């Protein structure tokens, strides 16, 4: 057995905690999770059944923690997990699982398959079977500060463009600001309109905010690859930045997994509670709305639909806020089939979009999203995750569907009431 395989197997033994043991023990093999997973529904291949993606982990559980499994291993009826097997499973644990959580929601006995896949990834990464593209993105985040290699000068360049185009400043390292705004690399490189939208909304709301020079990036590929130590380093940077600047709230950007990493995993990763709040930008916008600080005018005439990012809606519970915000600015807001918590993944989450040679599979499973769009025929698709946005654009282009994709924060900013109309 290679040293890396031995390390990986030991990690897999360690990650089998009480929840995982109970999940394996309670699985009734009903197959309902298969029908919940777009990798199965769109390919028909039984290897993509969610619980099957965990088969090596299940075998280790049985061999190590059940009497029958131990006996089977002893007499050679149950084989040890090998390097070749883990390499084969890489496609099932990373490429074909977006950590979307639809299977966890559907399972009749409440098995949290996402939890199990994430734990399995811990062992896979330590055994050397994580996809190189996600490993490289994680290394860049640790070494440079962002998975796409974006550095502070790129952020400052966007701040300069913002000032030149709108006359608005994006404050940097402003101590005592109420909000610290995080960005994803994609927003810095591909969607700078997000920063402009934030600047306009904060100005109208009369709130103080800041970017942080040591923690501007929200993306946490350590979570996606399955290395908790690295995920902790990335979270710690944000925590140190927020505490140094003494902000009250950190705003997670239009990025699904960044929200999960910081809001739900972060405090556990660093081993202590935060002394600031974490909110997704849509939660903040809806709060501003209820406080009368978000005043809009005019309604979109276009037929708009909303794509729910999985980490926001299923793993995060941010369901009503986007709908309320959409109805504030869109006269013709239409829901796709299976809206809200049952919405289907775009196919790009959980690190899938970072894996270069995964494009064919991504496009194949995009057929589900395509059929959802065909059902409502929107003029534009609105979402709240830059990674979803990029994956949706990739799929729409491939299937020659001419439907623009926009961020909800940006749509709201386009409808802000002019200053003269905000006077009471």
Kindly write out the interface string for residues 213-242 of this chain, putting x where it contacts ligand SF4 by CB under 6 A and - elsewhere: ------------------------------
- SS3 track for 311-355: HHHCCCCCCHHHHHHHHHHEEEECCCCCCHHHCCCCCCCCCHHHC
Cβ closer to ligand SF4: 31 or 419? 31
Q: Contact with ligand SF4 (CB under 6 A): which of 6, 10, 25, 30?
A: 30
Residue 159 is a binding residue for ligand SF4 (CB under 6 A)? no
Least distance (Å) from ligand SF4 to the CB of residue 311? 11
CA distances from 140 to 55, 63, 100, 159, 215 (A): 31, 37, 25, 23, 14
SS3 at position 49: coil
Residue 54 is a binding residue for ligand SF4 (CB under 6 A)? no
User: Is there a contact between 212 and 106 (Cβ–Cβ < 8 Å)?
Assistant: no
Kindly write out the interface string for residues 84-103 of this chain, putting x where it contacts ligand SF4 by CB under 6 A and - elsewhere: -------------xxxxxxx
Q: Which DSSP string corresponds to 163-198?
A: HHHHS----BS-TT-SEEE-B-HHHHHT-THHHHHH
Least distance (Å) from ligand SF4 to the CB of residue 310? 7
Order of strands across the sheet with 380-383?
A: 330-333, 300-306, 380-383, 405-407
Q: Contact with ligand SF4 (CB under 6 A): which of 109, 144, 157, 163?
A: 109
Residue 391 is a binding residue for ligand SF4 (CB under 6 A)? no
> Distance (Å, rounded) from C-alpha 130 to C-alpha 230?
14
Cβ closer to ligand SF4: 29 or 423? 29
Cβ closer to ligand SF4: 50 or 253? 50
Cβ closer to ligand SF4: 97 or 284? 97
Residue 1 is a binding residue for ligand SF4 (CB under 6 A)? no
Residue 312 is a binding residue for ligand SF4 (CB under 6 A)? no
CA distances from 255 to 27, 59, 404 (A): 32, 35, 18
- Kindly state the tokens that stand for 209: 């905010």
Question: Contact positions toward ligand SF4, by CB under 6 A?
Answer: 27-33, 36-37, 39, 50-51, 53, 97-103, 107, 109, 111, 113-114
């Amino acid at each position: 057995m290679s040293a890396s395989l031995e390390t990986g197997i030991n990690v897999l033994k360690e990650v089998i905690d009480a929840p995982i043991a109970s999940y394996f023990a309670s699985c009734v093999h009903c197959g309902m999770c298969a029908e919940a997973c777009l990798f199965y529904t769109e390919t028909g291949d039984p290897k993509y059944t969610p619980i099957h993606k965990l088969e090596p982990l299940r075998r280790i559980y049985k061999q190590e923690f059940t009497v029958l499994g131990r006996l089977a291993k002893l007499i050679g009826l149950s084989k040890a997990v090998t390097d070749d097997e883990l390499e084969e499973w890489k496609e099932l644990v990373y490429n074909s699982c977006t950590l979307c959580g639809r299977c966890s929601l559907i399972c009749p006995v409440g098995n949290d398959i996402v939890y199990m896949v994430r734990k399995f990834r811990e062992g896979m990464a330590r055994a050397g079977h994580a996809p190189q593209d996600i490993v490289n993105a994680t290394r860049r985040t640790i070494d440079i500060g962002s998975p796409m290699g974006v550095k502070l000068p790129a952020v400052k360049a966007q701040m300069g463009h913002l000032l030149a185009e709108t006359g608005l400043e994006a404050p940097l390292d402003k101590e005592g600001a109420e909000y610290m705004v995080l960005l994803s690399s994609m927003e810095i490189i591909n969607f700078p309109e997000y920063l402009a939208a934030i600047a306009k909304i904060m100005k109208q709301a009369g709130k103080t905010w800041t970017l942080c020079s040591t923690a501007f990036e929200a993306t946490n590929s350590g979570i996606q690859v399955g290395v908790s130590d690295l995920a902790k380093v990335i979270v710690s940077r944000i925590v140190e930045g927020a505490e140094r600047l003494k902000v009250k709230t950190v705003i997670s950007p239009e990025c699904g997994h960044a929200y999960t990493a910081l809001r739900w995993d972060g405090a556990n990763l660093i081993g202590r509670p935060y002394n600031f709040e974490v909110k997704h930008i849509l939660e903040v916008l809806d709060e501003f709305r209820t406080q009368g600080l978000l005043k809009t005018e005019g309604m979109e005439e276009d037929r708009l639909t909303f794509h729910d990012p999985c980490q926001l809606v299923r793993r995060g519970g941010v369901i009503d806020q986007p709908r309320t915000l959409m109805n504030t600015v869109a006269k013709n807001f239409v829901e796709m089939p299976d809206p809200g918590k049952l919405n289907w993944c775009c196919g790009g989450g959980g690190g899938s979009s970072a894996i270069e040679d995964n494009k064919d599979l991504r496009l194949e499973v995009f057929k589900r999203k395509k059929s959802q769009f065909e059902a409502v025929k929107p003029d534009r698709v609105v979402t709240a995750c830059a990674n979803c946005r990029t994956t949706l654009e990739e799929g729409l282009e491939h299937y020659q569907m001419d439907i623009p994709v926009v961020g909800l924060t940006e749509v709201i900013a386009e409808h802000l009431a002019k200053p003269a109309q905000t006077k009471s």
